[in-house]
């Protein structure tokens, strides 16, 4: 297990990100939705005015990369949870409700040697534009 350090190096702009236009263009290899499965399906939506998910997204709740005690899975297990088919074609990106929870997938991906870009606006931003498509169900 890695030992925590007190040294932190912050590099603004170093984290890969995508925006709504890139998601709409469809050039992503995989788009991971970090919210709970019931929010992904559109069964419930406690925060935003519209329920569902971005079409083409794959449900990957943050709990999929965590042990029961809340710690992250070992890198090989996290990689399998993030990319069950092992396909790294194209950009892998993650979103959630507001971009905060999806950051956990980005971090787990870093440890598993999978670069994951963050869609910072996430679902809350996506549903603000009624022209953007919405999907429900699995």
Q: What confidence tens digit (pLDDT) does each residue in 89-123 have?
A: 889 999 999 999 999 999 999 999 999 999 999 99
User: CA-CA distance, 131 to 128, in Å (whole number)?
Assistant: 9
Predicted TM-score (pTM) of this structure: 0.90
Six-digit token pair at 115? 């670069």
- How far apart CA 121 and CA 124 sit, in angstroms, is 6
CB 118 within 8 A of CB 108: no
CA-CA-CA-CA torsion sign (24, 138, 86, 109): positive
* Model pLDDT, residue 87: 86
What span, in angstroms and rounded, lies between the C-alpha atoms of 1 and 85?
27
Q: How many CA atoms lie within 13 A of 5 on its CB side?
A: 4
Which residue has tokens 């519209």? 50
Per DSSP, the three-state class of 95 is strand
Domains of the chain plus CATH, in order, are 20-126 (3.40.250.10)
Report the mean per-residue pLDDT for the chain. 93
Give the three-state DSSP class for 107: helix
Residue 30's H or E segment, with its range, is strand 28-33
pLDDT, tens only, 31-76: 999 999 999 999 999 999 999 999 999 999 999 999 999 999 999 9
The torsion defined by the Cα of 108, 116, 60 and 80, in degrees rounded to 10, comes to -60
Residues forming the active site? 96
């Amino acid at each position: 297990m890695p030992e925590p350090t007190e040294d932190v190096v912050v590099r603004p702009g170093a984290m890969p990100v995508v925006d709504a236009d890139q998601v709409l263009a469809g050039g992503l290899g995989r788009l991971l939705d970090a919210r709970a499965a019931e929010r992904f399906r559109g069964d419930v939506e406690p925060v935003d005015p519209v329920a569902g998910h971005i079409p083409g997204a794959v449900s990957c709740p943050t709990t999929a990369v965590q042990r029961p005690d809340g710690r992250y899975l070992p890198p090989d297990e996290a990689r399998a949870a993030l990319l069950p088919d092992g396909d790294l074609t194209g950009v892998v990106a993650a979103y959630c409700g507001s971009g905060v929870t999806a950051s956990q997938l980005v971090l787990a991906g870093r440890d598993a040697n999978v670069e994951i870009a963050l869609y910072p606006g996430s679902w809350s931003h996506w549903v603000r534009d009624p022209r953007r498509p919405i999907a429900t169900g699995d």
